[in-house]
Structure 1
C-alpha cells in the first residue's frame, strides 16, 4: 500500500523546500576562494574520470569504498558495468551478424552519451558530499555551480541531516532518469536513429536489456557466477526506467550476504567491458572462431555445446575509441512546485517484485539471438 502517512509527513519538508523557487543562478553570488577552489577541483576530477565507460565505472566503485553509506554509488557502478557490456556486445560474436555498421555505431553513441551524461551530473554531487564530510560542513549550496537540479539540493540537505541512504538513492534514481530524459531521450537524433528503430524494439523482445549483478554463491566456488538482475521493459519510458532503478536497488540491498557477494566480486574483478569478466566459461575477449565461416549454434542452457568455441566478447578499448562529448544543456529538469508530490511519490511508492531467474532469462536471450543469426544466415548466406 506504499509508505505510511507518517513517511509522507517526513517527506513534506522536502516538498516545501522544493516549492520555494527556481534553481539559483550559477553566478548569482561570488564564491569565497576556498569554495571556488573546491568547485574547480571537482570539475577537474569529474573531467578526468569521465573519459570512457571503464573510467566512470571504476570511479563509482572507488567512491563507494570510501563512502558505503551512499548506496547509489554501488548501484551506479554495477549498472555502468552493464552499459559497458552492452557496448562491447555491439562488436562481439552475435550482434554484428544482425546489425549494420551504422546501427552498431548509433547504438554505441546512444549508450556512451547516456553513460557520460549521468556521470557528468552525478559525480560532482558525490565529490561535493565527500568534501562536505571532509570539512564537516554542508556545501550543497554549491551544487548549482555544476548545473545540478535543485531537486537534488533538497535531497542532499535531507541526507546530511537524517542519513537516509534509501531516500537519497531513490532521489538520485529519479534525478538521473529525469536528467537523461531532458538531455537525451527527447533528442530527435537519438529518437529516430535508435529509440524508434526496429532493432531497438527487437532487443526488448529478445531481452538483451537485462541488467545483471554477478556474485559467487556460498558453496559454489568452482561453479559459474550466479546472476541477479532485472530488465527494462520499455526503455523509452521515464517511469519504467525509474521503476527499474528502484527494483535493482531493492534487489541489491534486500539481502546482506548476496550484496556482500556482489561487492566482493566487483572488488576482485576490474571492469574490462568484456562479458568474460563474469562468465569466462561462455565468453572470451579473443576471437576463437575462424573468420568467414558460417555461424553454428554454440550455447544451450547456459553452457557451450560439445566442441563449441566460446563467444567473442571484446574488452571495451578493443572495441571502441574514446568519444569527445558536447557539453550538456543548461536546463533544470525539475518542473517546479506543481511537480513536487508527483516526483516524491516515485520515492514513496513500494518497489514491485524483481525478476526471479536472471540467469535463465539471459541464457534464453543468447539462444534467441543465435536463432536469429542462424535464420538470417539461411536467408542471406554466411555472415
Structure 2
C-alpha cells in the first residue's frame, strides 16, 4: 500500500510540475521572473540567476527589433523571423529547465532526491546524473556548468538545426545583425550604472555558446560584480525595454524602447517529443575544464559604439531610400 501511495505521489508531482511549467512559460517576462524568484529562494542553484540575466537580454533584443532604427534596417519579415528565433530559444530552454528546478525544489521539501522523475518530464539522462551528483556533493559551480551544457544541446536540436535558423544564418540578414554585434552579445547591467558585456561570434556553434555561458557565469558571480548585478536585478523589474538599465547609466542611445507586452502577443508553441541529446554525445568532460579567468572591465564605450553603428547604418539607409 505504501508503494502505491508513493507512485501516486510521483504522478501527482509530475502532473503538478507540468501545469506549473505551462503557467510560467507564457512569455519572456514570465520566464525571466520565474528564474529570478527561484534563485532568491534557492541561491545554491546559480544557473537560475544566469538564466534570468540571459532571458532579460533576450527580451531586450526582442523589443529592439521594433525600434525605429531596426525598422529601418530590417524588413517586417526579417523582424518577425528574428523574433521567432529569440522567442523559440527562450521558450525551449524554459520548457526544459523549469521542470528540473521545480523537481529540485520538491526534492528539498521531501528530503529525498526525486531526479529519477526527470525522464518522465523529457529531461536528458545527462541532467538526471548531474542532479544526483549535486544532491550528494553540493558542487554549485559544476551544476551551473552542467545546466549550461544541457540547455545549449537542447536548443541545438530544437532551434539551431531547424530550417528557420539555418535560413537566417545563411542570409544577408545574419551578416547585418552580426556586423552590429547585436545577435549574440549579452549585457550585464549593475545598480551603479556600469555595463559589462560578452560576445560570441560563432553563435551557431554549441561549444562557443557553452563557453559564452560559462564566461557569463564567471562575471555574474565575480566577487567584484555580483553584489551590484544582483542589486540591479532585484530592484529593476524586467519589462523587456532597455530603459530598464539605461535609467542607471549616464548615457543611452535615445532610441524608442517599448515594453515587450505592448509589442508582441503571447505565442503558442508546440512541444514535440524531444530526443535525449546525451544518447548521441556521451563525451562532455572537456566542457567542465576550468575556464581562463580575467579582471572584469566595464564596457559602456563598446556598447555606445555598437549603438552608434546601428544609428549610422539606419540613417544612411534612410538617406539612400527616402519615403
Task: Identify the TM-score tier after normalising by the shorter chain.
Answer: over 0.9
Partners of 1:327 and 1:348 in 2: CA distance: 33
Shift of 1:183: 1.3
- In the other structure, the counterpart of 1:367 is 308
Q: Deviations 1:50-73 (Å, cap 9, x if unpaired)?
A: 000000000001100110000000
Q: Which residue of 1 aligns with 2:321?
A: 380
Which runs of 4 or more aligned residues in structure 1 lie more than 3 Å from their structure 2 counterparts after TM superposition?
301-304, 351-357
Aligned partner of 2:287 among 343, 346, 354: 346
- The answer to whether residue 275 in structure 2 is matched with residue 331 in structure 1 is yes
Matched, 1:320 2:287: no
Q: 1:135-164 CA deviation, whole Å, 9 max, x = no partner?
A: 000100000011000000111000000000
Structure 2 counterpart of 1:276 = 243
CA contact (8 A) 2:219 2:225 kept: no
- Tell me whether 1:136 sits opposite 2:111 in the alignment: yes
Whole-angstrom distance in 1 between the partners of 2:83 and 2:296: 26
SS at 2:225 equivalent: helix
User: Do structure 1's residue 198 and structure 2's residue 172 form an aligned pair?
Assistant: yes
| CA shift for structure 1 position 353 | 4.7
Q: How far off its partner does 1:354 sit?
A: 7.9
Question: Once the 2 structures are TM-superposed, how far is the Cα of residue 281 of structure 1 from its aligned partner?
Answer: 7.6
What TM-score, normalized to structure 1?
Answer: 0.79
Higher helix share: 2
- Among 43, 47, 53, the alignment partner of 1:68 is 43
Q: Is this contact kept in 1: 2:215–2:291, CA < 8 A? A: no
In structure 2, the gaps of 5 or more residues are none
CA contact (8 A) 1:183 1:329 kept: no
What secondary structure is seen at the aligned counterpart in 1 of 2:74?
coil
Which residue number corresponds to residue 212 of structure 1? 187
| Cα distance change on mapping 1:228 and 1:142 into 2, 3 Å | same
Unaligned runs of 5+ in 1: 1-29, 218-224, 283-300, 305-309
Q: CA deviation at 1:123?
A: 0.5
TM-superposed CA distance for 1:195, in Å, is 2.2
Report deviation, 1:93.
2.7
1:242 is aligned to 2:242: no
What SS is found at the alignment partner of 1:278? helix
The alpha carbon displacement at 1:103 in A equals 0.4
How many residues align structurally? 319
Q: Which deviates more from structure 2 when the two are superposed, residues 181-190 or residues 161-170?
A: 181-190
Instruction: Choose from 222, 226, 241 the match for 1:254.
Output: 222
- Per-residue deviation, residues 78-123 of structure 1 (Å, max 9, x unmatched): 0000000000000113111100000000100110000000000001
Match of residue 195 from structure 2: 227
CA RMSD between the two structures? 2.0
The answer to whether the 8 Å contact 1:117/1:328 transfers is no
* Structure 2 equivalent of residue 3 of structure 1: none
Deviation at 1:355, TM superposition (A): 7.4
Residue 230 of structure 1 aligns to a residue whose secondary structure is strand
In 2, Cα distance between equivalents of 1:314 and 1:39: 37
